[in-house]
Amino acid sequence: MQLSIDLSGREVLVTGSDAAARQAVLRYRAAGAVVFRLSSPAGSRHDGPLPERPFLVAAVDDGQPGWQALLERCRETGIPVASEPAAGAAGQVTLVGGGPGTTELLTVAAVKALRDADIVFYDRLAPYQELPALSTAELVDVGKRPGHHPVSQSGIEELVVEAALAGKNVVRLKGGDPYVFGRGGEEVAACVKAGVPVRVISGVTSAISVPAAAGIPVTHREVSHMFTVLSGHAPLTEKEHTHLAGLGGLGGTIVVLMGIGTLRQLTAGLRRAGMRADMPMAVIERGYRPGQRTTIGELGTMMTAAADCSSPAVLVIGEVVRVAGANRDCAAAEAELERLAASLLGA
């Protein structure tokens, strides 16, 4: 159960060791509470006077024995007790997949990791606008945008490792899934090399979720039983042109990330490799964000149709693009039938 209470100006007693309670204290302060601290159950270690009767006791699970008596007293005297998780372990790194850009598509593990972090290094494709509501951590933008890298990859790795070595619980928040064109493997390697404990929380990749936002399933029974995800980051080399020929021959869905800058080479390459000019194609820009837009067309004419499309966008090439259209038509037909039925009943 989750309960939201207005705590502004309310006296809250946060109990638990300093290390375990450090983030709960920040959370309650951020919620506007007047925070008091009791760091050991003996009651000997507290900063300043304690409130006579706090509005709430926030009991951080710090693993120390002896809190029971205090909590019992609260129960007897009718002071509500909220259980709070201990702060994240110090000196470790968690690589978190942030999904395609909406907090709705964060995993439960991602939300917990953000809550428990002391510092978050985030990318522009992660749902960063909502971070202050999810975490009291220090937020650092190491945002990568096409052609604009304020912090280099090795710079990011250094920052992350340094923060962990300084004893912080570090979250590295990335767009989508950390292991899909996210350089997650390199960041894990940098931590391992520095002897810093590191774990990875998978995220919802844009390769699947952004087409879904446009109603396009990457596989569909009897339409496509495989999908291949490509990076369009760099123009295709001759070797990759050979790959494209193979790819076209597979007959599955092709999903391209970072493909806006190299759209011409891709569509021309697939045509040269023998793919039909009327193969359905979609460009979905800014999935799950304000201004989400889908452009549907065909391989042969997409270069013109998508002339004003911009990053971030996911490209989809394959028959599955038609499924979105068919479903839309179907939904429209159903809605029309319902309207008809309603007007008949009303008459």
According to the binding rule CB under 6 A, does residue 135 interact with ligand SAH?
Answer: no
According to the binding rule CB under 6 A, does residue 206 interact with ligand SAH?
Answer: yes
Q: 235 preceded by cis ω (within 30°)?
A: no
| Residues facing residue 66 across a β-bridge | none
CB 333 within 8 A of CB 272: no
Is 258 a catalytic site residue? yes
According to the binding rule CB under 6 A, does residue 316 interact with ligand SAH?
Answer: no
According to the binding rule CB under 6 A, does residue 127 interact with ligand SAH?
Answer: no
To ligand SAH, the closest distance from the beta carbon of 64 in angstroms equals 40
Nearest 5 degrees, angle CA 170-CA 159-CA 200?
Answer: 40
190: part of which helix (H) or strand (E)? helix 184-193
According to the binding rule CB under 6 A, does residue 295 interact with ligand SAH?
Answer: no
Residue nearest to ligand SAH (CB): 176
Is 123 a catalytic site residue? yes
According to the binding rule CB under 6 A, does residue 124 interact with ligand SAH?
Answer: no
Nearer to ligand SAH, 111 or 309 (CB): 309
The length of the chain is 347
Applying CB under 6 A, among 12, 247, 314, 324 the residue interacting with ligand SAH is 314
Nearer to ligand SAH, 12 or 257 (CB): 257
User: Amino acid identity, residue 313?
Assistant: A
Tell me how far apart the terminal alpha carbons of the chain are, to the nearest angstrom. Answer: 46
Nearer to ligand SAH, 122 or 288 (CB): 288
According to the binding rule CB under 6 A, does residue 294 interact with ligand SAH?
Answer: no
According to the binding rule CB under 6 A, does residue 228 interact with ligand SAH?
Answer: no
| Residues facing residue 38 across a β-bridge | 15, 46
To ligand SAH, the closest distance from the beta carbon of 229 in angstroms equals 9
Applying CB under 6 A, among 21, 60, 163, 180 the residue interacting with ligand SAH is 180
Applying CB under 6 A, among 16, 269, 287, 300 the residue interacting with ligand SAH is 287
Contacts 24+ apart (CB under 8 A), 32-40: 32/6, 32/7, 32/8, 33/7, 33/8, 33/9, 34/9, 34/10, 36/11, 36/12, 37/13, 38/13, 38/14, 38/70, 39/15, 40/64, 40/66
**Catalytic-labelled residue, pool 62, 118, 177, 258:** 258
Stretch that binds ligand SAH, among 160-168, 270-278, 293-301, 310-318 (CB under 6 A): 310-318
CB 159 within 8 A of CB 128: no
According to the binding rule CB under 6 A, does residue 182 interact with ligand SAH?
Answer: yes
Q: Cα(146)–Cα(237) distance, rounded to whole angstroms?
A: 20
User: Amino acid identity, residue 263?
Assistant: L
Tokens of 211: 């087409």
The residues of the shown chain that bind ligand SAH, judged by CB under 6 A, are: 100-101, 125, 174-177, 180-182, 205-207, 210, 257-258, 286-289, 311-314
- Provide the annotated active-site residues: 123, 144, 258
